[in-house]
Amino acid sequence: MIYYLQGLTMGLAYVAPIGLQNLFVINTALTQRKHRVFLTALIVIFFDVTLALACFFGVGAIMKQSELLEMAVLLIGSIIVIMIGLSLVKSKDTVDNSTNVNVSILKVISTACVVTWFNPQALIDGSMMLGAFKATLPAGQDLSFILGVASASCGWFLGISAIISLFSTKLTDKVLRVINIVCGVVIIIYGAKLGYSFITMLLK
């Protein structure tokens, strides 16, 4: 259960900061009917979870074959994760109502796919973060951790869709700022954990 919870908190901290996926879901929730809002959320969840699985099992499995590679990814991953956290703490995102969400379902699918799978930064960050964490997990705990990550994606996108549909007038720039600060701090803590794992391996 502890590794599921780690995956859940790591997943929430990674998915919650306001990015392209979140902005699209938020703007859809602000302007569309509920059935369209939740359908959009499910489409985004599908691509988000499949990317997480690819990063976790792909890069993580390769790392298991080489201790030197594992150490390198832990070090680089730690630096990248901490930088992501710091950038979130410093960011000043705003609610963007200019995104066009009145599009066909096929367009929603293609947009979600491109934003997720063809985003080099998402691929690099996801690979380094999830791949590095896979290297620190005890044997047999991989599934628990990645289930936590997937649960975070499902809970977050469905949750914000429901909440924003109900309380659209309450969503302000200040709320987004608080979300980013909290998530940034959590991600920095996890980045420090990766750095600690690297130092432990280095001193063995």
- Distance from C-alpha of 14 to C-alpha of 183, rounded to nearest angstrom: 7
pTM of this prediction?
0.70
Cα angle for residues 82, 47, 7 (degrees, 5° grid): 45
pLDDT, position 16? 74
Contact 165, 29 (CB under 8 A): yes
Q: Do the Cβ atoms of 5 and 143 come closer than 8 Å?
A: no
Tell how many helices (H) and how many strands (E) occur in the chain.
9, 0
The pLDDT tens digits along the chain (204 residues) read 899 999 999 888 778 765 667 777 877 777 678 888 899 899 999 999 998 998 888 766 666 677 787 788 778 878 877 887 787 788 765 655 555 556 678 888 887 787 677 655 566 677 777 877 887 888 888 899 999 999 999 999 999 899 888 876 666 777 767 777 877 787 788 788 878 888 988 887
Residue-range domain boundaries for the chain: 2-202
pLDDT of residue 134: 80
pLDDT at 121 (0 to 100): 59
Question: From CA 66, how far away is CA 172, in angstroms rounded?
Answer: 47
Q: How far apart are CA 194 and CA 74, in angstroms?
A: 6
